[in-house]
Amino acid sequence: MRNDDEPLPPSPDLVEVTVTVENLSPEQGTALTPLWVGFHDGDFDTYDRNRPASAGLESLAEDGDTTLFSEEFLNSGAGFVEDVIVGDGGANPGVIDVGETTSFTFTVDRSLASSRYLNYAAMVLPSNDGFIANGDPIAHEIFDQDGNFLGADFTVAGNEVLDAGTEVNDEAENSTAFFSQAEPNTGEIENGLVTTHPGFDPDGRILSSSDFTNADFTAEDYQIARITVTADGFEPEAPEDDDVEVYRFFNNDLQLEFYTANEFERDYLVENFPQYQLQGVSFIAADEPVEGEDISGVDPVYRFFNTSTGVHLYTTSDIEKDAAIENSNYSFEGIAYYGYESEQEGTVPLYRFYNESLDAHFYTPSSETKDIYLESPDYQPEGENGIAFYVEPAEI
C-alpha cells in the first residue's frame, strides 16, 4: 500500500526534450538573440509571407524581445510549453554569438497533441528587423500522433533570413540592434510585409564595420544556425519504410488542384475545408534522402502559394524556385516531397501543364489525362516533353 505522503511516480508520458542551437555563422558574421521555442499542436503560425507581422513578431524581429510573442503563443491555445534559449554569457550575455552552442531542456507530455510540433524564432544581429523562424507550423514534427519521439536536426541557411517589414532597413546607428541603439522600437516605421530579407547594404554601416565583415548572409553557402532536438532516454523513432503517398485535392470553388504528402494537412483539409475534395492518392513520391547516403537522382519538390490567385506551384527547378522567392506574390512553403530526376525502374513521368486563363499549373501521372490536356487548347505542356519529374504510380 502506498503511503499518501510518498510522491507520485513520474508520468511515463513526460519527456525531457533538449533543444540545442549552434551559431554556424563565420567569424565576423551574424549573431542571434535568444532563440524562442514553442511546442504546439500544429496550429500556431509564426508568420505568413507577404502579410504583416504580428505585434509580437515585430517586437521579436526589431528588438529580440519575446515577451509579447510568448503571450500570442499562449493565447493561441495551440500549446503551453515555451521558453527562450540564451547564450552562455560570453562577450555578449544572452546573445548567441558566432561559434557558440547553447541548449535548454523542456518537459513535455508526449501524449498531448500540444507537444507534437516545434516552432522557433530569433532576431538576426545586427539588423533593423531581420529574423529566422519556421513559417510552416508542421515543418518540425517532434512526436508522431502516437507519441513516438522523432526528434529534429536541421540547418537554417542564410537565404532563409526574413524581413519583418516593420522597420526600414536604414542600418542607422541609433536604430540598428547591436550597434548603438539606446532603446527599443526607435527605427523608422515601414508598415510592410514579411518577405525574404534582401541582405545588408554592400556599402552600408553593417558590412563596413570591422566586426561584421563576413555578415553577408546572402552569400552562397552561408549558414545561420543548426538546431537539434533530442530526448534523454529516447532514440528517434526509425522512419517506417512506407511509401510516400501524395494526395490530390480538387478545389471546387477555384477549379484548381492541391497536392500534399502530409497526412495531418490532408485530414485538416477534409475536416475544415469542404471546398477541397479529396480524390485519393495521386502518386508515390521518392523517399526523402538520408544525410550521408547517395542522394543523386532525387530532387526536392518545392511548394509555393500564390497569395494573389490562391494557386499552388510545385517545382524541382532551383531557377524557378529562386524566381518565385523574389516574386512578392509567392509564399515559399518549403519542400512538399521528393521526385526522381530521370526515369527509373518502376517510375512514370509526372506531367505538368499550364492553363493561362486560370493562371495555374496542373499535374498528372496519368497518360490518359495527359492526352486530354494535350488535346485541349487551354493547356500547354511545360518542361521537357511536358515532364516535370518522375514518380511511382499509385496502386489502384
Q: What does the pLDDT read at residue 1? A: 39
- Look up residue 93 and give its amino acid: P
Provide the residue count of the chain: 396
Is residue 203 pLDDT above 50, yes or no? Answer: yes
Q: What does the pLDDT read at residue 2? A: 41
Is residue 237 pLDDT above 80, yes or no? Answer: no
Confidence grade of residue 8 (pLDDT, cut at 50, 70, 90): very low
pTM for this entry: 0.67
Domains and CATH numbers, the chain: 14-231 (2.60.40.2130), 244-393 (no CATH)
The residue-averaged pLDDT of 262-269 equals 83
Bridge partners of residue 391, in order along the sequence? 348
| Of 132, 145, 130, nearest in space to 200 by CA | 130
Q: What does the pLDDT read at residue 6? A: 56
Distance between CA atoms of residues 396 and 388, nearest Å: 22
| Residue 196: Cβ-neighbour burial (10 angstroms; 0-12, 13-18, 19+) | middle
Q: What does the pLDDT read at residue 334? A: 85
CB atoms within 10 A of CB 66: 26
Distance between CA atoms of residues 363 and 385, nearest Å: 13
CA atoms within 13 A on the CB side of 105: 5
The residue-averaged pLDDT of 304-326 equals 90
374 vs 93, residue with greater confidence: 374
Q: What does the pLDDT read at residue 181? A: 56
- Look up residue 372 and give its amino acid: I
| Of 66, 23, 20, nearest in space to 222 by CA | 23
Contact 16, 104 (CB under 8 A): no
Q: Residue 51 has which C-alpha cell?
A: 502579410
> Where are the strands (E) in 31-111, listed by range?
31-32, 35-40, 81-85, 101-109
Distance between CA atoms of residues 23 and 85, nearest Å: 12
Confidence grade of residue 35 (pLDDT, cut at 50, 70, 90): very high
**Count H helices, E strands: the chain?**
6, 21
Average pLDDT, the chain: 88
Helix ranges (H only) for 216-358 are 263-272, 318-326
CA angle at 253 for the pair 247 and 256, rounded to the nearest 5°: 45
Q: What does the pLDDT read at residue 394? A: 86
